[in-house]
């Protein structure tokens, strides 16, 4: 049996050498593709973009902030009065009816009080304060006057300590809404 000549060996193994070169060039192409990726052409978040990449555009949807027209409103359910830590009753501050000048009395009350609950945090448990805003009807002219809570007492659904805690968890600790709710539930039994 004759030994094949050198050019014949090269010709026979040429496809192996070409095959070993092409994966290397593919790897280089893959690495170059990865280098050119940013948040606009891949699933990467924008904070992973290199400083040289163009800034991402924020497109406005044209909708106003907050609840949208036609969307069902989501409200927190009121806690039963038996579970409330403190109840504050608010009666109309102007006991004299501006139309007829007659003084209003608590027995002139009409209907149920408008219930508004404010959640707050103290050092240990959560404190829920309910503000009951009563309305009275003038016995002479029939005009109804409703009480107004002071701005400091019933500004919204949450007290200043709870608002500060939520702002700190969201702003400083970068927690999303679901994580904030989980922290409030686990630490203070907030519902």
Q: What is the pLDDT at residue 142?
A: 87
pLDDT of 117 > 60? The answer is yes
36: left (phi over 0), alpha (psi -120 to 50) or beta: alpha
Contact 128, 79 (CB under 8 A): yes
**Domain layout of the chain by residue ranges:** 1-38, 81-188
Q: What is the pLDDT at residue 161?
A: 79
Burial of 49 (0-12, 13-18, 19+ CB in 10 A): middle
pTM over 0.75: no
- Band of pLDDT at residue 18, cut at 50, 70 and 90: low
Tell me which of 101 and 14 has the higher pLDDT.
101
3-state secondary structure the chain: CCCCCHHHHHHHHHHHHHHHHHHHHHHHHHHHHHHCCCCCCCCCCHHHCCCCCCCCCCCCCCCCCCCCCCCCCCCCCCCCHHHCCEEEEECCCCCECCCCCCECCHHHECCCCEEEEEEEECCCCEEEEEEEECEEECCCCCCEEECCCCCCCCCCCECHHHHHHHHHHHHCCCCCHHHHHHHHHHHHCCC
């Amino acid at each position: 049996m004759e030994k094949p000549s050198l050019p014949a060996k090269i010709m026979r193994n040429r496809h192996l050498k070409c095959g070993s070169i092409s994966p290397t060039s593919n790897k280089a192409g893959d690495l170059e593709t990865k280098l050119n990726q940013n948040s606009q052409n891949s699933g990467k978040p924008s904070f992973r973009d290199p400083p040289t990449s163009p800034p991402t555009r924020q497109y406005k949807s044209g909708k106003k902030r907050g609840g949208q027209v036609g969307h069902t409103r989501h409200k927190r359910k009121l806690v039963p009065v038996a579970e409330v830590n403190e109840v504050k009753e608010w009666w109309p501050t102007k006991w004299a009816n501006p139309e007829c000048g007659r003084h209003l009395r608590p027995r002139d009350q009409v209907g149920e009080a408008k219930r508004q609950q404010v959640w707050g945090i103290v050092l240990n448990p959560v404190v829920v304060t309910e503000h009951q805003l009563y309305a009275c009807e003038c016995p002479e002219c029939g005009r109804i006057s409703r009480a107004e809570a002071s701005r400091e007492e019933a500004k919204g659904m949450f007290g200043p300590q709870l608002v500060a805690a939520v702002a700190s968890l969201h702003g400083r600790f970068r927690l999303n809404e679901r994580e904030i709710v989980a922290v409030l539930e686990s630490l203070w039994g907030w519902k």
